[in-house]
């Protein structure tokens, strides 16, 4: 029979798939001697069995195991679950294999009813504490297990606070809390039609079901989708049943949340917050703004020393920054939870470098502890330090970074507006886990309550989004959709700027500046480069883009698209003249004008990347892309013809008026200017010629038509000009003692005969340029592999090509017969949601199809040409999972957009470090 329940003393702390992260860590902390309240874990297997059952029934035998473990808790504590004299209360918490802070449900103080409440009052002689615990339990259980909305409880709670004349619950008396508890019980009866359950085992059973159900709740599902948490990574939630300890029994009690290092900066300091006379949810929910942990040293010095000791033990045991929760009950410190801390990229990089230098981890571990995508956060802009704006309000710097957007006061509206493309700042009194969908769509988060360890702060840091929390000078009125700061009012839709690094809030939008690489990031990526065997190149088409890519650590340019140079406003007219040319001579005249421009472009890029390689792709897109569309030309012709007609009419009018009033001819307008008439006529003639050419160039499937090498074969003068520009730029660099390594790449190849035709051009131009400049040129000639036939003919292509570069955007389209734009807009999301595909194949390499073609290409190509250089320059070149596959099949390099280079450098190192345990995933 399946075992579903494990006591903390017996659970395997390494088995997070079975026990969840929280449960596994509770077991491990118990077993290494930390002061953890007794408890047990209900496994994720029980959750999955429950969810898989048609009627969501708990698996057979589960509650028998639960009752057995409750009896063990009674023995360990000397208390009785449901007992009148010394009642045992428990917390019921979720916990999956992957940390999902606040996304699933928790219930505290379970086990209270009329009988146990009276027993607790007699035992503790603290009526206020007991009713405080009771009203919390009724509301939390009512919401989580019985489905009663918070607002039904909150309206009574606020009414009693107003009547008592207090702003916070800490000021309520025992009588006030007793009244609130009575009102809450009435809410449950009214909303559910049933009285609040008194049977404590029934309470526990309903709570276990509620926690299991929360795995399928909207916020948990949204969170898993956003962070791409797959069933292989975490499937189902465990339930952790733990003996309650109380931080709300008086002023010698407290509850807090801590990090073993600052999660915002990575600094090695005590970090966290606490509240005296409170329960843990008060801290993370942001209901009260807590005190910084440093204040505990003054308030409870002995407990602070114990907390420092706990922090040191946790980090030295787990070899990772820990996010832990604790409660102080009448002078005794209990650790209730620990997990790997969620930090932003700045903190992760700093802690990786410093923990390696401290000997806590080695360099390989330092590289492996960071998700490569996290580094994208470091490339986000920050506020221009020279701005002169005065801050409107000051809050806590809860998650670094700067963001501007429209102030929006509820998560649903933030999601709606944010998904429509508007920039949004979600503004709340405090955020709740239910707001998670609003986080995803927002640029940043601003709260008027809560601290650096509140739900808003923790989730924002995990997303890399700026957050200002606890800005208590801001009065947020969610119902009125406005916020007031003194005399200033922010209405919904007004633009505000938040600086999560300083905690400041501003009206309006403030300009930002690009970030700079920190010394820690340079160190970390230096370690990565030492480990990786894959080189990381960048896709760049201009000298400034090449310089930027180099600043990101690019080791060369893996894709320079020559057509991007044609689109500049000063050269597009020349390109149009080339396309409209009626004769070879006219086309050559236009190309002669383009030659020095392209040569200058290439020379600038070669210099920016010297001495690293630069791969230049010859012209790829079809000619029609450089011309307006047919509908645009028809509209323009219509306007020009109307203008011509109106001008002719005006001229006739002027002449007739002159005939009527010949003596006033000097006062009348001059006849329509002949020169202007000629210009309009010329424009019409050119537009008509363009329209004729657009119609002649029309293709049913242009992306599968007259493009790439097919242009080079049919219009060899175009490719010849580009080859000449590349080699002349290289020759000029050589003459100036600038080391260069150009590579000429031919796109859309399906046959070795195509390569032979272009190679003959290259040889002829090379001889001409070397003779003209008196230099010996060194360069490579190769091809893109972006057609299925090209991949299958790799052995023959390698006889002509010195290198291959996978153009996986087109290769993916060809392999799937998907048009990327149509697929992503129409059916790909449904394919992924339905499990037909696991990932978008245009973002992450399709191992089974495209990946198989890549393996064939590499193996066949290198069988023909030993040492064949092979890389990838499609969009997947910057995707960490795709980079692991590229390492697996033996590529030499990946090439990606400049800002993705740091991500790719770290991913390339991790691919090497993890190569022994790697098998390509299944895309279905």
Question: Catalytic site residues?
Answer: 455, 873
Separation of alpha carbons 270 and 278, rounded Å: 21
Judged by DSSP in three states, 776 sits in coil
Q: Which distant-in-sequence residues (6+ apart) come within 8 Å of 21 by Cβ?
A: 95, 96, 97, 98, 99, 339
Secondary structure letter of residue 864 according to DSSP: H
- Cα–Cα dist 104/124, whole Å: 32
HEC-encoded secondary structure of 252-266: CCEEEEEECCCCCCC
Burial 858-897 (b: 16+ CB within 10 A, else e): bebbbeebeebbbbbbbbbbbbbbbbbbbbbbebbbbbbb
CA 148 to chain centre: 33
SS (H, E, C) 542-603: CHHHHHHHHHCCCCCEEEEEHHHHHCCCCCHHHHHHHHHCCCHHHHHHHHHHHHHHHHHHHH
Q: What single-letter DSSP state applies at residue 372?
A: G
Q: Please tell me the distance from the alpha carbon of residue 728 to that of residue 524, in angstroms, as a whole number.
A: 39
What is the per-residue DSSP string for 20-76? Answer: HHHHHHHHHHHHTT-----EEEE-HHHHHHHHHSTT-PPPTTHHHHHHHHHHHHHHH
CA neighbor of 113 nearest in space, from 182, 189, 199: 199
CB 787 within 8 A of CB 746: no
DSSP symbol at 343? -
426 vs 439: CA distance, rounded Å: 7
Strands (E), 104-144: 106-110
Distances (CA, A) of 104 to 89, 101, 411: 21, 8, 18
Nearest residue to 383 via CA among 397, 402, 396: 402
Phi, psi (rounded to 5 degrees) for 307? -70, -40
C-alpha closest to that of 95 among 41, 133, 143: 41
Geometric angle at alpha carbon 610, from 608 and 614, rounded to 5°:
85
Residue 700 CB partners (closer than 8 Å, separation 6+): none
CA distance linking residue 712 with residue 532, whole number of Å? 37
Q: Of 254, 259, 267, 371, whose CA–CA distance to 881 is shortest?
A: 371
d(CA 383, CA 397): 14
- Sequence-distant (≥ 6) Cβ neighbours of residue 619 within 8 angstroms: 562, 563, 566, 708, 711, 712, 718, 719, 722
Which region, left, alpha or beta, applies to residue 309 given φ > 0 means left and ψ of -120 to 50 means alpha?
A: alpha
Give dist(CA 357, CA 363) in Å, integer. 9
Contact of 273 with 453, CB cutoff 8 Å: yes
Q: How far from the centroid of its chain's Cα atoms is residue 130's Cα?
A: 44
Give the C-alpha separation, 847 to 259, whole Å.
39
Torsion of CA 99, 103, 109, 115, to 10 degrees: -140
| Spatial separation of the C-alpha atoms in residues 209 and 110, rounded to whole Å | 14
Degrees (nearest 5) of the Cα angle 432, 433, 435?
75
């Amino acid at each position: 029979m399946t075992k579903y329940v494990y006591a903390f003393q017996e659970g395997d702390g390494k088995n997070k798939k079975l026990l969840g992260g929280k449960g596994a860590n509770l077991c491990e902390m118990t077993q290494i001697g930390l002061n953890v309240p007794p408890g047990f874990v209900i496994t994720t297997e029980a959750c999955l069995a429950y969810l898989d059952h048609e009627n969501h029934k708990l698996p057979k035998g589960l509650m028998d195991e639960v009752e057995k473990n409750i009896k063990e808790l009674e023995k360990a504590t000397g208390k009785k679950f449901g007992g009148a004299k010394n009642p045992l209360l428990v917390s019921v918490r979720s916990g999956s294999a992957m940390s999902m802070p606040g996304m699933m449900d928790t219930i505290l103080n379970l086990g209270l009813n009329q009988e146990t409440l009276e027993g607790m009052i007699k035992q503790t002689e603290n009526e206020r504490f007991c009713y405080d615990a009771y009203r919390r339990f009724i509301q939390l259980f009512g919401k989580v297990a019985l489905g009663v909305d918070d607002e039904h409880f909150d309206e009574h709670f606020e009414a009693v606070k107003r009547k008592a004349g207090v702003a916070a619950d800490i000021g309520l008396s025992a009588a006030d809390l007793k009244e609130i508890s009575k009102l809450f019980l009435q809410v449950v009866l009214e909303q559910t039609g049933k009285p609040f359950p008194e049977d404590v085992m029934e309470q526990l059973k309903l709570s276990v079901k509620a926690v299991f159900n929360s795995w399928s709740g909207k916020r948990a599902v949204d969170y898993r989708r956003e962070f791409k948490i797959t069933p292989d990574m975490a499937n189902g939630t465990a339930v952790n049943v733990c003996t309650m300890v109380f931080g709300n029994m008086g002023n010698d009690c407290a509850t807090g949340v801590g990090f073993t290092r600052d999660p915002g900066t990575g600094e090695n300091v005590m970090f966290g917050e606490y509240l005296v006379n409170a329960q843990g949810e008060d801290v993370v929910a942001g209901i009260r703004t807590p005190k910084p942990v440093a204040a505990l040293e003054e308030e409870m010095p002995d407990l602070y020393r114990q907390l420092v000791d706990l922090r040191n033990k946790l980090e030295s045991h787990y070899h990772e920054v820990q996010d832990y929760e604790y409660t102080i009950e009448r002078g005794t410190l209990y650790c209730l939870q620990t997990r790997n801390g969620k930090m932003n990229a700045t903190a992760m990089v700093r802690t990786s470098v410093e923990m390696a230098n401290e000997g806590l981890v080695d360099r390989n571990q330092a590289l492996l502890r960071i998700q490569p995508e996290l580094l994208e956060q470091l490339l986000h802009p920050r506020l221009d330090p020279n701005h002169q704006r005065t801050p409107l309000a000051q809050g806590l710097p809860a998650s670094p970074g700067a963001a501007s957007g429209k102030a929006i006061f509820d998560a649903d509206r933030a999601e709606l507006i944010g998904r429509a493309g508007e920039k949004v700042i979600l503004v709340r009194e405090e955020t709740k886990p239910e707001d998670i969908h609003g986080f995803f769509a927002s640029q940043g988060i601003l709260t008027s309550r809560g601290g650096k360890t509140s739900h808003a702060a923790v989730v924002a840091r995990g997303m890399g989004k700026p957050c200002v929390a606890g800005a208590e000078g801001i009065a947020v009125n969610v119902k009125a959709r406005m916020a007031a700061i003194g005399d200033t009012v922010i209405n919904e839709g007004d633009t505000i700027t938040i600086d999560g690094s300083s905690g400041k809030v501003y009206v309006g939008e403030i300009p930002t500046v690009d970030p700079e690489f920190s010394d820690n990031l340079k160190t970390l990526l230096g370690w990565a480069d030492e480990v990786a065997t894959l080189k990381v190149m960048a896709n760049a088409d201009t000298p400034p883009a090449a310089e930027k890519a180099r600043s990101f650590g690019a080791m060369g340019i893996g894709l320079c698209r020559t057509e991007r140079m044609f689109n500049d406003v000063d050269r597009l007219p020349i390109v149009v003249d080339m396309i409209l040319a009626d004769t070879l001579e006219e086309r050559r005249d236009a190309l002669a004008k383009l030659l020095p421009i392209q040569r200058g472009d290439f020379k600038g890029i070669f210099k920016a990347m010297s001495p690293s390689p630069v791969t230049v792709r010859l012209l790829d897109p079809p000619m029609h892309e450089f011309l307006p569309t047919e509908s645009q030309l028809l509209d323009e012709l219509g306007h020009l013809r109307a203008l011509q007609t109106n001008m002719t009419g005006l001229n006739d009018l002027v002449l007739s008026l002159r005939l009527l009033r010949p003596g006033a001819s000097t006062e009348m307008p001059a006849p329509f200017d002949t020169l202007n008439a000629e210009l309009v006529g010329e424009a019409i003639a050119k537009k008509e010629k363009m329209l004729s050419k657009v119609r002649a160039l029309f293709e049913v499937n242009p992306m599968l038509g007259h493009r790439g090498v097919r242009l080079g074969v049919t219009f060899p003068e175009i490719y010849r000009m580009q080859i000449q520009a590349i080699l002349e730029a290289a020759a000029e660099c050589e003459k100036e003692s600038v080391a260069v390594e150009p590579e000429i790449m031919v796109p859309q190849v399906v046959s070795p005969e195509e390569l032979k035709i272009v190679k003959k051009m290259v040889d002829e131009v090379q001889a001409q340029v070397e003779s003209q400049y008196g230099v010996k040129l060194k360069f490579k000639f190769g091809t893109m592999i972006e057609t299925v036939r090209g991949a299958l003919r790799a052995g023959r292509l390698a006889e002509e090509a010195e290198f291959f570069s996978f153009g996986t955007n087109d290769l993916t389209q060809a392999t799937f017969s998907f048009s990327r734009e149509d697929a992503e807009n129409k059916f790909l999301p449904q394919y992924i949601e339905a499990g037909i595909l696991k990932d978008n194949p245009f973002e992450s390499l399709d191992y089974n199809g495209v990946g198989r073609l890549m393996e064939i290409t590499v193996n066949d190509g290198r069988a023909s040409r030993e040492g064949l250089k092979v890389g990838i320059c499609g969009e997947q070149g910057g995707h960490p999972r795709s980079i692991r596959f590229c390492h697996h099949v033996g590529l030499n390099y990946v090439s990606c957009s400049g800002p993705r280079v740091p991500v790719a450098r770290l991913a390339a190192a991790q691919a090497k470090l993890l190569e022994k345990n790697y098998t390509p995933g299944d895309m279905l």
